[in-house]
Amino acid sequence: MLKIYHNPKCKKSREGLKYLQDKGIDLEIVNYIKEGITERELSDIIMKLNLSPFNIVRKQEEQYRKELKGKKFTDIEWIKILVENPKLIERPIVVAKHKAVIAQPPDKADELL
């Protein structure tokens, strides 16, 4: 079973979810905006993505541009920032047992199938 970290208010996230549902994929849907995400969970996702925390920051978000852009943070600090401000996390993120992808475009999720 795949897990998708989904924000229902985000068009790209809705497209990614629909893409997987249309393929009949068995999914666990996590509304991480509403439910939250732990530092441990996010660290695990980042490891499976094989990216740094900064690479999953939504740099087009106003909060990033006004408060964080140009500042230097450690990976641990970025994880704390993202857990406290989950809307700054790129989406949708699709997670399998040992790997994860940011499903933009949606067919990027095919890497996990």
Report pLDDT for 111.
97
Nearest to 95 by CA among 54, 56, 55, 46: 46
Single out the catalytic residue among 2, 3, 10, 12.
Answer: 10
pLDDT for the residue 97: 95
Q: What is the mean pLDDT of each run of 10 residues along the chain (113 residues)?
A: 96 97 96 97 98 98 97 98 98 97 97 95
Give residue 96's pLDDT: 97
> 7: Cβ–Cβ under 8 A, 6 or more apart, which residues?
13, 31, 32, 33, 87, 91, 92
Relative to beta strand 100-102, strand 93-95 is antiparallel
CATH code assigned to 2-112: 3.40.30.10
Q: What is the pLDDT of residue 41?
A: 98
Give the residue extent of every domain in the chain: 2-112
Q: What is the pLDDT, as a whole number, of residue 15?
A: 97
Residue 45 to residue 25: CA distance in whole angstroms: 20
Tell me if residue 10 is catalytic: yes
